[in-house]
Structure 1
Amino acid sequence: MHFRRTLLAAAALVAAHAAQAGTMIDNANGYTLNAGGELLRFQALAFDDQGRIVAVGDAQEVAAKAKGYRRVDVQGKTVLPGLIDAHGHVFGLGYIASGVELYSSTSLDGALKTVQAFAQANPQRGWIVGNGWNQEIWKLGRFPTAAELDGVTGERPAMLRRVDGHAAWANSKALQLAGITRDTKDPAGGKIERDADGNATGILVDNAMELMDGVVPRPGDVERRAALDGALAALTKVGLTSVHDAGMGEAEDALFREYADKGKLTTRVYAMIGDTGEAFDRLSARGPLASYANDLYALSAVKLVSDGALGSRGAAMMQPYSDAPHTHGLLFYKNAEMLAKMEKAMKAGYQVNIHAIGDAGNRQILDGYAALLKKYPGAAQRHRIEHAQVVALGDIPRFKQLGIIPSMQPTHATSDQNMAEQRVGPQRIKGAYAWHSFLKQGSKIACGSDFPIESPNPFEGLHAAVTRQDSAGLPVGGWYKNQAMSRKQAFRCFTLDAAYAARQEKAIGTLEAGKWADFIVVDADLFKVPASAIGKIRVQQTWLSGKPVYTAP
């Protein structure tokens, strides 16, 4: 009996030791940056059973620090830090699957046929909703109309958001339910498109979309859970181990925390509270949440919006649009109102991240930061401008001077190339999508995609950053190629600097001892494949905190 107890005790000790042993990724073609931004190669990566990195580097040196660890041979495959998307919309990505998908439509006729097919396939739906239309690709020279949508939706109300999320296309029934008539005034920061007689055409720009809020059904708990499940599956598949969620509310916050508690949050989320209203008051009652559940979740930033988008001519410009001299676009708030929102968030200790696309929108926010940072020194907060898309040349240096991070989306440039210069002309385009100008002055760019407006695949973003070309390789030679990034710069803005923009660079963003073992195994060498092939790289494995969360079939 004594001998049996001894054997059982020994077995328990071995089992305990095995449970505490970590994992060594071996035979890797590895790349990572270090804290100083230097690009390093490695053959092996070891991490403990908690998912913390123990050693990175030469196989023999790592093995010496990883005795007893189980080994995973990746057979010479390329291993990279998990990639980070610094600007996306997690639930928005999940909701795409439940509505009409118009991202791939290339004509108005094709879009209408897609809507009609969806309506016929979903007779139980009270509303027809969807996303992704882009009249610029359709070459209409105008917006679509409610009358055109009426022909395929019948008596059911319909509302379809534009690709950039800054305009909606509604049918006549939806306009009727919302009470939008020729007498309805444009709301502050919004515009109801009208015909020559003053009647609403069906297009609602920016804050005018809020006129539909009371009638369009809101997602419930079941829909939110399905959306989050779908989004997380999509994010791990493309190698995103962390995303910055650009504007969410209380229901989303509760679900993120629940998923983190249950180990279901397979991508880290750095969330921004949408605006500074009542939801902010409740969510900020205990102050910023820097880290939750081993850095799986954070809620320490606020997302504000200065203006609209370029495609719908809602972006606020200092001079009229080159292709529409009757409009300057829209500032959502007067300077004093925006300043009050910024100050409320800063005073509460939150990082302030503000959507600004037009040069007037960027100017308004830079002026606001210049005024408030004297009162609330914000270097530690690392405040941001989201998009920083069209910036007056004289304002670009102010980002560096004020310590403001430009949070930019490379695929926006390649998606917008078909209309951007027409919108702003040959002079203002010099300060648009100006990545090289920002990097040259020493600004850290946090790269993202703005999914679901663009694909969440970060390799498509890396391709756009390096080539200034779309997925078809156009234009030949690249669009304003002088603003392109090097591969190392692009890699950095999707890893180390994206982590920096969330104040998380000590935990993630590179593969270094003490950090979380967030990494991906891919099917090609990012630094050796032809630049044209970067967007075609596919993820084979995604690991979060030392555990696999995605394996390609």
Structure 2
Amino acid sequence: MRSRNSFKLSAVLAVILLIGCSGPDKESATLLIHGGPIYTVDTTQTIVEAVAVRDNLILFAGSLEEAEMYKTDQTQVIDLEGKTMTPGLIEGHGHFMGLGYNELSLDLINTTSYQQIIDAVAEKVKTAEPGEWITGRGWHQSKWDSIPADTVLGFQTHDRLSEVSPDNPVYLRHASGHAGFANAKAMEIAGIQVLPREGIDQFEVEGGEVIRDALGRPTGVFNERAQTLITKHIPANTPETDRQAFELAVAACHRHGITGFHDAGIGRGTIALYEKMKAEDKMKVRMYAMLTGWDKELLNEWYDRGMMVDPDHEFTIRSVKLNCDGALGSRGAWLLEPYSDRPGHYGHETLPMEFVAESALNGLQHGFQICSHAIGDRANREILDRYEAAFVEFPELANDHRYRIEHAQHLHPDDIPRFAELGVIPAMQAVHLSSDRPWAIDRLGEKRIVEGAYMWQALLRSGIPIVNGTDVPVEPLNPIASFYASVSRKTLKGTPEGGYEPEQKMTREQALRSYTLDAAYGAFEEDIKGSIEPGKLADFAIYNQDLMQVPEDKLLETDVIMTIFNGEVVFEKED
């Protein structure tokens, strides 16, 4: 008996010895992070002391004592020294190459008057060759401190801009991207002029509008699809500038703690660029790309091919972006009732609803998520109707469709519960409230604002998650600003006291989820990212202060000081 027990004891000791010898090599951490509050967005343990990472995956999240069991001499250790960490942030709706190109062209996002735009163009003219196009983006007439003396339908006219740029065609996109402003030279190249009789036809653009003065002369403002009258004449980007813009966009994401990006509408050229960047190991952000709905041939090719889910989780295509109405600022959002500040005008249906219905069916049949841009209440209702019809026709394919409406900015009260009932995800950019709410009431009136605009808490209470973001380059790529707007419902200047329609504020926990786990859910990726849990990807953002606890009036002082992507530090802010 003693001999048999001795044998068993020897066997157990041998197993323990074997585990002891092989364990550290198998389970050792390449990175250990501790020393400050770590918000996991995991409901089982919301805050942990430490996180252990092996290569690009999270090994452990919990107490520091347990985490140190994974530490070896080769483990890199990051002491937060009281700083705060969350999962890497996910930009839930943006335009990646627009972000990069905004840094290459005139950035007008912070201009506060027409004169500043004129001055910026005049400065650019000094270094431009005659005939060279000058482009930019970011102006918004409703955000200016002063309105020009000569306006048409609330927009400036081109005369003063044309005076400073007589030999250079100029085209400046509205911050929303749904309108543009051209000078005389650009309109001359496009062949746009006032002609007797036949001149009227050139201004008729389905789904768009050329703004003209009382004499019928174009003011230089082109709304919605009318922009193509000018943009088709602008020279295409080069491979060199594409690469430069891409790298600038990646760096901008890292500076802001963003490790995932939902790119809202890309075409063939951008797909090819992203594939090239991934092959060169330059895709240092997790790209969830939506195919542009403007290219029907491209969509049909991908429907036949099927969705592309990247096993490396760097570049995935499994969704389609449809642009169904315009923006509120340019009065292009499609409304059920006319604009309060433009009687008789309802905005624009920029994509036929028949195509939305067709796309909703194709998405279910071919496994693609449909994501439709809708800002106005009519656009939202029409899209929900088309989605619902598709779900009824193919109920067996609609179990986990995760169809989205991008922006969902203004809803009729009757349509708010339909999102949860249909399982349609609203992808809403909270920072739009900070920028738009002061003047949006002029467009919609108080009743429509209070009952249906920026209805975050009403949607969340109905049982549907919200995907947050900035819609960059419509707004600057700043998740802290959007987080602040989510929880305060104030402008970035801190007004008004108490916030606009404060009953619709998000809690800080909801706001963080909207930028992490709920954004991951909006891309079918909640099992691999969006929270700090063992087995998930090691993407983190580290901040200079505790954004979950700091007083609200200090929130905008939060800075990202480090970004970790795939288990590696890709950004560290200098002191």
Q: Would you say same fold, with TM above 0.5?
A: yes
Query: Structure 1 unaligned runs (5+)?
Result: 1-12
Equivalent of residue 422 in structure 2, options 375, 386, 402: 402
**Equivalent residues of 1:136, 1:418 under 8 A apart:** no
| Residues 343 and 186 (structure 1), Cα distance of their counterparts in 2 relative to 1, 3 Å cut | farther
More deviation in 493-502 or 97-106?
Answer: 97-106
Offset of residue 285 of structure 1:
4.2
Give per-residue Cα distances to partners, 1:159-214, cap 9 Å, x unaligned.
Answer: 10001110000112211221223421422111111111222211110111112233
Q: Using the alignment, how far apart are the partners of 1:152 and 1:474 within structure 2?
A: 37
Tell me whether 322-331 or 344-353 shows the greater mean CA deviation. Answer: 344-353
Aligned pair 1:166/2:178, yes or no?
A: yes
What is the CA–CA distance in structure 2 between the aligned matches of 1:340 and 1:530, rounded to whole Å?
Answer: 48
Separation (CA, whole Å) in 1 of partners of 2:230 and 2:300 = 25
Answer yes or no: is 1:522 the counterpart of 2:543: yes
Cα deviation for residue 64 of structure 1 reads 2.4
User: Structure 2: how far apart are the matches of 1:545 and 1:190?
Assistant: 44
Q: Do 2:28 and 2:72's aligned partners in 1 also have CA atoms closer than 8 Å?
A: no
Partner of 1:495: 516
The residue that corresponds to 1:107 in the other structure is 113
Instruction: Choose from 139, 148, 162 the match for 2:160.
Output: 148
Deviation of 1:375 (Å): 2.4
Asked if structure 2 preserves the Cα contact closer than 8 Å seen for 1:461 and 1:535, the reply is no
- Aligned residue among 442, 458, 469 for 1:448: 469
- The alpha carbon displacement at 1:258 in A equals 2.3
CA distance in 1, matches of 2:219, 2:44: 54
Q: Aligned AA for 1:128?
A: I
1:444 maps to amino acid: P
- 2:442 matched to 1:422? yes
Structure 1 position 243 matched with structure 2 position 255: no
Matched with 1:64 is 69
What does 1:496-511 correspond to in 2, within 5 Å? 496-511=517-532
Partners of 2:273 and 2:352 lie apart in 1 by 34
1:548 aligns with 2:569: yes
2:373 is the alignment partner of 1:355: yes
Counterpart residue number, 1:119: 125
Moved more, 17-26 or 413-422: 17-26
Q: What amino acid is aligned across from residue 500 of structure 1 in structure 2?
A: Y
In the other structure, the counterpart of 2:500 is 479
Aligned-pair distance for 1:122?
Answer: 2.8
Q: Which residue of 1 aligns with 2:14?
A: none
SS at match of 1:303: strand
Cα distance, 1:432–1:226 mapped onto 2, change above 3 Å: same
**3-state DSSP of counterpart to 1:265:** coil
Between stretches 241-250 and 467-476, larger displacement belongs to 467-476
Q: State how far apart, in whole Å, the 2-side matches of 1:107 and 1:391 are.
A: 31
Normalised by the size of structure 1, how large is the TM-score?
0.93
Q: Percent identity?
A: 36
Shift in Å, 1:72: 2.6
Q: 1:378 aligned to 384, 398, 403, which one?
A: 398
1:287 alignment partner in structure 2: 306
Q: Do 2:328 and 2:443's aligned partners in 1 also have CA atoms closer than 8 Å?
A: yes
Q: Matched residues in 1 for 2:366 and 2:99: separation?
A: 30
Q: Contact 1:24–1:66 (CA<8 Å) still a contact in 2?
A: yes
Answer with 456-465 or 143-152: which moved more. Answer: 143-152
Structure 1 residue 345 displacement after superposition: 3.6
1:9 aligns to what?
none
User: What is the rounded CA distance, in whole Å, between the counterparts of 1:521 and 1:125 in structure 2?
Assistant: 46
| Worse-matched range after superposition: 266-275 or 169-178 | 169-178
Question: Measured at CA, do residues 418 and 149 of structure 1 come closer, stay the same or move farther in structure 2, by a change above 3 Å?
Answer: same
1:486-539 per-residue CA deviation (whole Å, 9 max, x = no partner) reads 111101101110000000000000000000010122100011111122222111
Map 1:230-309 to 2 at 5 A: 230-275=248-293, 276-292=295-311, 294-309=312-327
User: Gaps spanning 5+ residues in structure 2: where?
Assistant: 1-20, 194-198
For residues 518 and 457 of structure 2, what CA distance do their matches in structure 1 show?
15
Alpha carbons 1:463, 1:532 under 8 Å: kept: no
After TM superposition, give the deviation of residue 133 of structure 1 in Å: 0.9
C-alpha separation in 1, matches of 2:367 and 2:211: 39
Could you give the per-residue CA deviations for residues 317-340 of structure 1, whole angstroms, max 9, x where no partner exists?
Answer: 011101110311011133323312
Note closer, same or farther for the CA distance 1:338–1:350 as it changes in structure 2 (3 Å cut). same
Paired residues of 1:379 and 1:403 also in contact (CA < 8 A):
no
Query: What secondary structure does 2:454 align onto?
Result: coil
Structure 1 letter corresponding to 2:38? G
Q: What CA distance in whole angstroms lies between the structure 1 residues aligned with 2:64 and 2:130?
A: 59
TM-score, normalised to structure 2, is 0.90
User: Which stretch of structure 1 is more off in the superposition, 417-426 or 402-411?
Assistant: 417-426
> Which shifted more, 228-237 or 206-215?
206-215
Distance 2:216 2:131 in 1: 31
Shift of the 470–372 alpha-carbon distance from structure 1 to 2, 3 Å rule, reads: same
Alignment correspondent of 1:73 = 79
Shift of residue 38, structure 1, vs aligned partner: 5.7
Deviation at 1:259, TM superposition (A): 2.0
Equivalent AA in structure 2 for residue 40 of structure 1 = T
Shift of 1:70: 3.7
Provide the rounded CA distance (Å) in 1 between the counterparts of 2:542 and 2:143.
35
Quote the offset at 1:450 in angstroms. 0.1
Post-superposition shift, 1:18?
A: 10
Deviations 1:433-474 (A, max 9, x none): 110111111110000110011111111110010111122112
User: C-alpha separation between the residues in 2 aligned to 1:114 and 1:152?
Assistant: 10
Q: Which moved more, 1:296-305 or 1:140-149?
A: 140-149
The whole-number CA distance in structure 1 between the counterparts of 2:460 and 2:442 is 26
Tell me the secondary structure at the aligned position of residue 482 of structure 1.
helix
Instruction: Name whichever of 315-324 and 261-270 sits farther off.
Output: 261-270
Q: Is the 8 A contact 1:410 1:461 kept in 2?
A: yes
d(CA) in 2 for partners of 1:411, 1:188: 31
Contact 1:271–1:301, Cα closer than 8 Å, also in 2: yes
How far off its partner does 1:284 sit?
Answer: 4.5
- Following superposition, the deviation at residue 66 of structure 1 comes to 4.4
SS in structure 1 of the partner of residue 177 of structure 2: coil
Superposition CA RMSD, Å: 2.0
**Alpha-carbon contact 1:39-1:488 (below 8 Å) kept:** no
Deviates more, 1:529-538 or 1:181-190: 181-190
Separation in 1 of the partners of 2:45 and 2:291?
34
- In structure 2, C-alpha distance between the alignment counterparts of 1:274 and 1:374, rounded to whole Å: 25
Q: Name the counterpart of 2:7.
A: none
Aligned to 2:534: 513
1:494 counterpart letter in structure 2:
Y
Of stretches 508-517 and 191-200 in structure 1, the one that deviates more from structure 2 is 191-200
State the distance in 2 between where 1:431 and 1:471 align. 22
State which of 32, 39, 43 in structure 2 corresponds to 1:24.
Answer: 32
Pick from 34, 51, 66 the counterpart of residue 45 of structure 1: 51
Paired amino acid for 1:395: D
2: CA distance between counterparts of 1:504 and 1:497?
9
Partner of 1:89: 95
Question: Residue 370 of structure 1: CA displacement?
Answer: 0.8
CA deviations on 1:243-276 (whole Å, 9 max, x unpaired) are: 1000011221122222223321121110000115
Q: State which of 416, 427, 431 in structure 2 corresponds to 1:411.
A: 431
Q: CA separation of 1:18/1:122 partners in 2, compared to 1, >3 Å: closer, same or farther?
A: farther
Q: Distance in 1 between matches of 2:162 and 2:282?
A: 42
> SS of the counterpart of 2:103?
helix
Letter of the structure 1 residue corresponding to residue 493 of structure 2: A
**Matches of 2:298 and 2:213 in 1, distance apart?**
37
CA distance in 1: counterparts of 2:365 and 2:226, whole angstroms: 30
Larger Rg: 1 or 2? Answer: 2
